[in-house]
Amino acid sequence: MAQASRKEKQVESPVESASRPQTDAAPWQKPQGLTRRGWGILVGIVLAIQFPLIHYALLRGEADVTTKVPYEQTFSDPGVVARDFFSTGAYWRVTGGELLGPSPKNNPLWLQARLPDDVAIEFDVRSEYPEGDIRVEVFGNGRDPSSGYTLVQGGWNNSLSVLARNDINAPSMEVLKRRAARIAEGNGGQGTDLVATGAFKRDTAVRVEARGNSVQAGRVYHWRIERRGTVLRWFIDGALLLELDDPFPLKGSGHDRLGLSGWESQLFFDNLRVGTPDSMPATFVARPPAPPPPPAGPFADDFNRAELGGAWNVTGPDAVKLEDGALVVEHTANRPVWLKQPLPANATVEFDAWSDSPEGDIKVEAWGDGQSFYAGDLRLQYTATGYVFIFGGWRNTQSVIARQHEHTADRAARAGAVVQPGRHYHFKITRRGGSLSWEIDGQPFLSLQDASPLEGPGNQYFGFSGWQTRVHFDNLKIQPL
């Protein structure tokens, strides 16, 4: 407010004066006959009109409290939104026994209850759009986004999940640790503690990050958020996703509210429970650790058998079968058949493929997460977890290499090369770092340069995929480079 109410005097230069358009308008003059009392009345009227804004911006107290913890809500009563919650935007409402947040655009629905310092929060949530971006705010002020900790699943075009303190775009914890190390080095190497070096202060904005946990449209996720002392932990479906140990934990008045939020997705929340960690044990059963995957390396499969077997993760069983010594997919709807063995970071992937349909649409995913699939509205866009290779897509009119998003401008594309029904094609995909090349029948077809290559545990699997057409795959061979 202060910067808008005061202006510094500025001296206009001769150049500025000469270049300023000249008008015939006379300069403003004080109205004649307006007394000091009249000015007082005028100022009073202006203040009265602006009082609600002034009160909200300058004089507001803490957010209202209409309910208390422990709190449970199944959203069977449409009146609960007005009774127990508050929002400055978005048409939050109950529909079909769930809480609907239609494109909240970062306008949280705040529960009007004070959170205990040590808290446990659980709920179910799903996104109907492939953009993901499910958000929750904890220990905020009950009015403003990013006033506490923000948890984002599948943000930034469904590519990244973060637990952020004060700002979702804050530097990562790794950046703060490197800063502390530089400060310590300048001080003669006397420790790298974040607080002692001044790298982490009470007003510091920071985040911890996780990749490879994209949101699948239509899938229901169970969240648990838990804080004990200084450690805030976030679980999804029973697995720990992220945690933040905050030396200056946000708590007390102004940092004691829960807000359900999101960006442009259509989100549904249900079965909300809020309590303390001791009084509200986790409702999920901890999963035993998964057996380690086989090491990345060479692999071959000719599909010459009756059953696909345990080497493959089939996300759409009704759309996949083995027939005449080949893998056949039909009406797959972006539910890949993932190879469980990881891909080498740099490798060649070769196979034969053919389609029975004049619509073509031969499709595979490479360097994805090995488990994701599409489960949402088929009229909406699918966001892959890896690189997508499509030959004769969009009714056999276009072929692309896409980084997760098939419809964006940063994909590599070509038109005019159509799939001929019944013709067998030999594909060869080669990756070296951020460079991907694709050959068909020994001839260069498409290439893509990725300045930020997809890599790590969430980007090391290969999958045969498709949309609606009947497609055959055979003679897979993977070789490290």
pLDDT of 19: 35
Question: Among 295, 293, 274, which residue's Cα sits nearest to residue 283?
Answer: 274
User: How many C-beta atoms lie closer than 10 Å to residue 126's C-beta?
Assistant: 21
What is the model's pTM? Answer: 0.57
The full set of domain ranges for the chain reads: 71-170+205-275, 299-480
pLDDT of 106: 92
User: Among all chains, which residue has been given the structure tokens 């958020």?
Assistant: 225
Contacts of 296 (CB under 8 A, 6+ apart): 341, 342, 343, 344, 345, 460, 480
pLDDT of 455: 87
pLDDT of 340: 92
H or E element at residue 464: strand 461-465
Cβ(353)–Cβ(472) below 8 Å: yes
User: How many C-beta atoms lie closer than 10 Å to residue 150's C-beta?
Assistant: 26
CA distance 348 to 429: 5
DSSP string, 146-178: TSSEEEEEEHHHHTEEEEEES-TTSPBHHHHHH
- The CATH class, in words, for 71-170+205-275 is mainly beta
pLDDT of 50: 59
CA distance 146 to 140: 7
Taken as a whole, the chain contains a residue count of 481
pLDDT of 424: 97
- CA 148 remoteness from chain centre: 18
Assign domain 299-480 to its CATH architecture.
Sandwich (2.60)
Q: Do domains 71-170+205-275 and 299-480 have the same CATH topology?
A: yes
10-residue mean pLDDT series, the chain (481 residues): 35 35 48 67 68 51 89 96 93 94 93 96 89 92 94 86 94 88 76 83 93 78 96 93 95 95 92 95 60 78 93 89 94 91 94 94 93 69 86 93 87 89 96 95 95 86 94 97 91
pLDDT of 293: 64
pLDDT of 44: 72
